[in-house]
Amino acid sequence: MTFVVTEQCIKCKYTDCVEVCPVDCFHEGPNFLAIDPDECIDCTLCEPECPVEAILPEEDLTDDQQIYLELNAELAQTWPVITVKIDAPPDADDWAGKPNKLDQLER
């Protein structure tokens, strides 16, 4: 099992989660984070750190969220690893909680 970054991260990209990851499985894109499912050890440390509740265990994904399991695996292969917390985008709070953000994802 792995943890998965879901839609709520898009355009919010809070990075509180990356500093607690003991295996450095987070990867940073322009406006989204991804978890490498091959590196994630299911330690659960990242999930409570996310202020917008964007990180879920794989088994808790709804049918609509399954795309994020594949998306995390794909993007983690090309995006660089991030291990240090950085500032969220200036408009992150404006995007927090908004639905239907997949079309806003920048690769």
Domain residue limits, the chain: 3-91
Pairing state between β 55-57 and 3-5: antiparallel
State what percent of residues in the chain have pLDDT above 70: 100
What's the CATH code, domain 3-91?
3.30.70.20
DSSP E strands, 1-107: 3-5, 26-28, 33-35, 55-57
Do 6 and 72 touch, CB atoms closer than 8 A?
no
Asked if residue 1 has pLDDT above 90, the reply is no
Q: Which residues of 45-64 are buried (b: 16+ CB within 10 A; e: fewer)?
A: ebbebbebebbbebeeeeee
pLDDT tens-place string over residues 49-85: 999 999 999 999 999 999 999 999 999 999 999 999 9
Helix H or strand E segment including 79:
none
pLDDT at 20: 98
pLDDT tens-place string over residues 33-52: 999 999 999 999 999 999 99
